[in-house]
């Protein structure tokens, strides 16, 4: 029970890594506030959280809308009485719309920034005052190895949003360390989730795996375990850090 008596808000809790983290955090004793645009998926996650022995408040909403994020936090605090963990997980990777700067439209650039960067801004803006009331807490941001290196298949708005989250992590760590609020960022490598599904088939997965030192794609639980460490009190001296979870890809 590494998260006993903790309350976590997890954005993008409907599918993929957000769902997996919701279930793992629940198994470890946390109450969950789940925020996702996909209300049906969120309800399924809520049922899994219940089966894991905890409860989730499922709030349908869009992280790029400040009112939705503010509302989820307010509802969550009203329900569970406090907030300890902000997990800014929701993000989109649109390989059919987000390209090199040469080819991306301003509109597509802005939507990706709004979800991937403004979402974490709203979550921290409205969540940090609640963490202060709790006497401290943990902020977990999700970056990407695509923020750490260039790739020939460019998704420049995605890459820039994830890169900016590294700077935000460090700024939050320095500003709020004295309040016992920590901020860390996880950089996943290629993780087999619904986000990647439209772009993968078995053959592509095999090819990608052969180029990863650990010789497999990641699964959502690989990231959930990293997030669990950062959410728990085991990491109380860890802030402003970047945790790469990519099977060794970035080490090459
Ligand atoms: N899967 C990967 O290979 C990979 C690699 C690096 C980083 N990431 C990042 O990890 C995070 C989670 O990715 P995933 O693979 O689990 O994605 P996913 O698509 O499988 O799940 C994302 C969830 O976020 C929700 N969501 C999307 N837009 C939203 C919005 N505007 N407001 C609220 N919820 C929204 C979706 O409905 C979905 O439930 C993302 O930030 C992603 O960029 C993923």
- Report whether residue 113 contacts ligand 1, using a CB cutoff of 6 Å: no
Helix (H, G, I), strand (E, B) or coil at 10: strand
- Report whether residue 227 contacts ligand 1, using a CB cutoff of 6 Å: no
Q: Is residue 142 part of a domain?
A: yes
pLDDT band of residue 64 (cuts 50, 70, 90) is very high
CA 176 to each of CA 73, 89, 196: distance values in angstroms, whole numbers, following the listed order: 19, 20, 34
Cβ atoms of 209 and 217 within 8 Å: the answer is yes
Domain count, the chain: 1
**Hey, whose CA ends up nearest to atom 18 of ligand 1?**
195
SS3 content of the chain, % helix, strand, coil (to 5): 50, 15, 35
- Report whether residue 194 contacts ligand 1, using a CB cutoff of 6 Å: yes
Q: Is residue 200 part of a domain?
A: no
pLDDT band of residue 211 (cuts 50, 70, 90) is very high
Q: How far apart are the CA of 231 and the centre of ligand 1, in A?
A: 19
Ligand 1 atom nearest to 195, measured from its CA: 19
* Stretch 55-72: mean pLDDT: 98
Percent of the chain's residues with pLDDT above 90: 99
Q: Which of 87, 158, 225, 229 is catalytic?
A: 158
Q: How far apart are the CA of 88 and the centre of ligand 1, in A?
A: 10
**Hey, whose CA ends up nearest to atom 43 of ligand 1?**
91
Q: How far apart are the CA of 119 and the centre of ligand 1, in A?
A: 12
pLDDT band of residue 76 (cuts 50, 70, 90) is very high
Q: Is residue 33 part of a domain?
A: yes
Determine if residue 155 is left, alpha or beta; phi over 0 gives left, psi from -120 to 50 gives alpha, anything else beta.
Answer: beta
Question: Domain residues for 228?
Answer: 7-193+219-237
Q: What is the pLDDT of residue 243?
A: 98
- Report whether residue 22 contacts ligand 1, using a CB cutoff of 6 Å: no
Q: Is residue 210 part of a domain?
A: no
Q: What is the pLDDT of residue 16?
A: 98
Q: What is the pLDDT of residue 245?
A: 98
Q: Is residue 201 part of a domain?
A: no
Helix (H, G, I), strand (E, B) or coil at 193: coil
- Report whether residue 238 contacts ligand 1, using a CB cutoff of 6 Å: no
Q: Is residue 224 part of a domain?
A: yes
From the list 32, 33, 30, the residue with the least C-alpha distance to 5 is 30
Mean pLDDT of the chain: 98
Q: How far apart are the CA of 178 and the centre of ligand 1, in A?
A: 31
Q: Is residue 208 part of a domain?
A: no
Q: What is the pLDDT of residue 177?
A: 98
Q: What is the pLDDT of residue 2?
A: 98
Q: Which residue has the tokens 């022995």?
A: 53
Percent of the chain's residues with pLDDT above 70: 100
CATH at residue 70: 3.40.50.720
- Report whether residue 38 contacts ligand 1, using a CB cutoff of 6 Å: yes
Ligand 1 atom nearest to 91, measured from its CA: 41
What are the tens digits of pLDDT across the range 115-155? 999 999 999 999 999 999 999 999 999 999 999 999 889 99
* H-helix segments, 95-213: 106-113, 119-133, 156-176, 202-210
* Stretch 160-172: mean pLDDT: 98
* Stretch 173-189: mean pLDDT: 98
* Stretch 37-52: mean pLDDT: 98
Q: Is residue 12 part of a domain?
A: yes
Q: What is the pLDDT of residue 230?
A: 99
pLDDT band of residue 234 (cuts 50, 70, 90) is very high
Judged on CB neighbours under 10 Å (0-12, 13-18, 19+), 86 is buried
pTM over 0.95: yes
- Report whether residue 244 contacts ligand 1, using a CB cutoff of 6 Å: no
Helix (H, G, I), strand (E, B) or coil at 169: helix
pLDDT band of residue 204 (cuts 50, 70, 90) is very high
């Amino acid at each position: 029970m590494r998260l006993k008596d903790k309350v976590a808000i997890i954005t993008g809790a409907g599918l993929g890594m957000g769902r997996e983290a919701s279930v793992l955090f629940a198994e470890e004793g946390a109450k969950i506030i789940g925020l996702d645009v996909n209300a049906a998926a969120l309800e399924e996650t809520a049922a899994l959280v219940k089966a894991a022995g905890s409860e989730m408040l499922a709030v349908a909403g869009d992280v790029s809308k400040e009112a939705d994020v503010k509302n989820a936090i307010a509802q969550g605090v009203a329900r569970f009485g406090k907030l300890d963990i902000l997990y800014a997980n929701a993000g989109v990777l649109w390989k059919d719309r987000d390209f090199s700067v040469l080819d991306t439209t301003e509109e597509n650039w802005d939507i990706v920034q709004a979800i991937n960067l403004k979402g974490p801004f709203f979550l921290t803006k409205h969540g940090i005052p609640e963490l202060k009331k709790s006497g401290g807490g943990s902020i977990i941001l999700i970056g990407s190895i695509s923020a750490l290196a260039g790739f020939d298949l460019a998704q420049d708005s995605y890459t820039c949003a994830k890169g900016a989250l590294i700077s935000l992590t460090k700024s939050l760590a320095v500003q709020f360390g004295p309040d016992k609020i920590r901020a860390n960022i996880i950089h996943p490598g290629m993780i087999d989730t619904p986000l990647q599904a439209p772009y993968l088939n078995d053959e592509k997965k095999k090819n990608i795996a052969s180029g990863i030192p650990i010789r497999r794609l990641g699964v959502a639980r690989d990231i959930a375990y990293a997030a669990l460490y950062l959410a728990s009190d085991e990491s109380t001296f860890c802030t402003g850090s970047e945790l790469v979870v990519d099977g060794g890809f970035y080490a090459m």
